[in-house]
Every structure is written in structure tokens, then in C-alpha cells.
């Protein structure tokens, strides 16, 4: 939906959101939700094709794109500076960019795979904060991190990924304490299963991919695996003034999956891999 000429009264009226990984999956759903709420967007992605696709949907008058890798400090510094040149301020940094591969036990994970996961999923948050904190001080803005339920409860055959998401949870709480005196709120969302390209890639790496769809529905107490729009709605709330007294929160947006988490693999399947 195009943003009207004046967005007064909209939830994110006059806000500028710096959004990483905002061209597909949860991030793209967030981009659309934020734009409908009146925000201007600076979207960072390392995938030129997905940027081109996003351009066809998002309002060009209120959206700018930067091709950059969140794991590269210099590229993110440039992206922050570009956002400030275009929009003049940053009110929200949403650290959504992330990767999930490989789906392996720890001893099967190579050193490059381990390092890459941490450089993207945790290092990306460091880089946007390092280069964006001065702007957030001026606006008394907010930071939102996209975490995962598995960062709290673990997940079989996904050790390195779950380690990064556990780090995101702890980092979110520490950042909330550090930046509260500056009026900057820091929160995270923790989805369980969400039908995104990342999840579909993970599904194909499982020993029994043909059973994964049913599994993904069953793990949620509400009975289905959602699309990314349900996560975007929660993110919109957390970055808006409606959540003005919430900080350090890891918000499960999980359909109750944490209330009775079900294993994907039978124990003998994991033993066979080990």
C-alpha cells in the first residue's frame, strides 16, 4: 500500500528504519509492514536480485537500498552513512539479516562454517550498533534483533546456528542495559518455525525432508507454521511507541511451540549421524 502524502497518525510516522536482510522472508514482510505504518526505509541486502524484486513492491519514494554484507564492518559503515545522507536520521535499527546453514552437529561443522555463522548472525549486530549508535542517541531510538526460539531451547543437528541465536538473546539483554540511560530500547523477537527461504533450505538438509512439513505444523501449539507476516506484526509493535516501556525483551512469536517442543528426528537418526 503506498504511503500517503502525509503520514501523520501512522504508527511509524516520520520514523526512519535501517533494516538488514529486508528483501526476503521475515525481513521483507517487516519492510512492508513498516512502510504501511508510515516509515521510511533504508534496506541492506547482499543479494542484488532480491533487491531488484523488492523494488517492484515497496514505495520508491520512501525506500532506499544498499548492497552490503552485514559481516563487513566497512560496508555497514558506508550503509549507515548513506542512510543518513538520504534520510537525515535513523530512528530504528532492525538487525534481521541472518543465515542458518549448515544444519549439522557441532563436530560436523567446519571452522569456516562456524566463523561465517557468527560473523553474520552476531557480527552483523555489532557492526550496525558500532556505526549507528550515535544516530540512535540523537533520536532516542530503538534496536530490534531477529532471534529464534532455538536460541533458548536448542535444536538437534543445528548446533552452530542455535549458538548464534543464544548469543543474540544474551546480547540483546546486555545492550538493553547499556543503552537504557540513553533512552534507547533494545528488544528481540524469537520465532519458532516461519515459512521463509531459510526454513525451506533447512528442511532440505534434514534426514527426512518429506516429513518436515507435518513436523513444522505440529511443533506449534496453534497447529500451523505461519508466514512471515505474523512476525512482522510483532516487530512493528516492538519498534513503535506502543512498546515504549519495553526493553530487554526476547518476545516469543512462536504459536506456543516452546510449551511442548517436539523433536524432528528419532534418537536413532541422530546416533546414526554421530
Q: Which SS3 state, helix, strand or coil, does residue 253 take? A: strand
Average pLDDT of 150-158? 91
Neighbouring C-alpha atoms within 13 Å toward the C-beta of 16: 22
- Element housing 217 (H / E): helix 212-218
pLDDT of 139 strictly over 90: yes
Mean of pLDDT over the chain: 89
User: Residue 34 phi/psi, 5° resolution?
Assistant: -65, -40
DSSP alpha helix (H) spans, 17-103: 25-36, 48-55, 73-87
Neighbouring C-alpha atoms within 13 Å toward the C-beta of 28: 19
Cell of 40: 521510511
pLDDT at 2: 44
Residue 260 CA to residue 181 CA, distance in Å, equals: 38
- Catalytic choice (34, 161, 215, 224): 161
pLDDT of 267 strictly over 60: no
pLDDT of 268 strictly over 70: no
pLDDT at 205: 64
pLDDT of 261 strictly over 60: no
Residue 268 CA to residue 274 CA, distance in Å, equals: 10
pLDDT at 5: 39
Residue 184 CA to residue 172 CA, distance in Å, equals: 12
pLDDT at 227: 81
Instruction: Provide, rounded to the nearest whole percent, the portion of the chain with pLDDT above 90.
Output: 73
- C-alpha 9, offset from chain centre: 26
Residue 190 CA to residue 167 CA, distance in Å, equals: 13
pLDDT at 228: 87
pLDDT of 174 strictly over 70: yes
pLDDT of 182 strictly over 60: yes
pLDDT at 201: 64
pLDDT of 156 strictly over 80: yes
pLDDT at 161: 96
Give tens-digit pLDDT for 46-66. 999 999 999 999 999 999 999
pLDDT at 216: 77
Q: Are 36 and 19 in contact (CB under 8 A)?
A: no
Give tens-digit pLDDT for 24-37. 999 999 999 999 99
What structural domains does the chain harbor?
Answer: 16-273 (3.40.50.720)
pLDDT of 179 strictly over 80: yes
| Confidence class for position 7, pLDDT limits 50, 70, 90 | low
pLDDT of 80 strictly over 70: yes
Peptide bond into 102 cis (omega under 30): yes
pLDDT of 220 strictly over 80: yes
Average pLDDT of 217-225? 80
161 as an active site residue: the answer is yes
pLDDT at 196: 73
Amino acid at each position: 500500500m503506498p504511503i500517503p502524502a502525509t503520514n501523520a497518525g501512522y504508527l511509524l510516522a516520520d520514523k526512519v528504519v535501517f533494516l538488514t536482510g529486508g528483501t526476503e522472508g521475515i525481513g521483507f514482510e517487516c519492510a512492508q509492514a513498516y512502510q504501511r505504518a508510515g516509515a521510511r526505509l533504508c534496506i541492506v541486502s547482499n543479494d542484488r536480485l532480491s533487491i531488484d524484486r523488492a523494488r517492484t513492491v515497496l514505495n520508491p519514494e520512501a525506500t532506499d537500498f544498499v548492497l552490503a554484507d552485514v559481516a563487513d564492518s566497512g560496508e555497514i559503515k558506508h550503509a549507515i552513512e548513506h542512510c543518513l545522507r538520504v534520510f537525515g536520521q535513523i530512528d530504528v535499527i532492525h538487525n534481521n539479516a541472518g543465515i542458518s546453514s549448515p544444519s549439522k552437529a557441532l563436530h560436523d561443522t567446519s571452522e569456516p562454517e562456524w566463523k561465517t555463522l557468527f560473523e553474520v548472525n552476531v557480527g552483523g549486530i555489532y557492526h550496525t550498533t558500532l556505526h549507528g549508535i550515535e544516530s540512535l542517541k540523537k533520536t532516542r531510538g530503538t534496536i530490534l534483533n531477529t532471534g529464534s526460539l532455538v536460541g533458548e531451547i536448542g535444536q538437534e543437528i543445528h548446533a552452530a546456528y542455535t549458538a548464534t541465536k543464544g548469543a543474540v538473546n544474551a546480547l540483546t539483554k546486555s545492550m538493553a542495559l547499556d543503552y537504557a540511560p540513553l533512552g534507547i530500547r533494545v528488544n528481540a523477537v524469537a520465532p519458532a518455525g516461519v515459512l521463509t527461504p531459510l526454513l525451506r533450505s533447512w528442511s532440505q538438509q534434514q534426514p527426512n525432508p518429506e516429513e518436515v512439513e507435518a513436523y513444522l505444523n505440529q511443533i506449534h501449539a496453534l497447529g500451523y507454521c505461519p508466514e512471515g507476516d505474523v512476525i512482522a506484526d510483532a516487530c512493528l509493535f516492538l519498534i513503535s511507541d506502543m512498546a515504549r516501556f519495553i526493553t530487554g525483551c526476547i518476545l516469543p512469536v512462536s504459536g506456543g511451540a516452546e510449551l511442548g517442543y517436539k523433536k524432528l528426528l528419532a534418537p536413532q537418526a541422530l546416533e546414526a549421524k554421530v
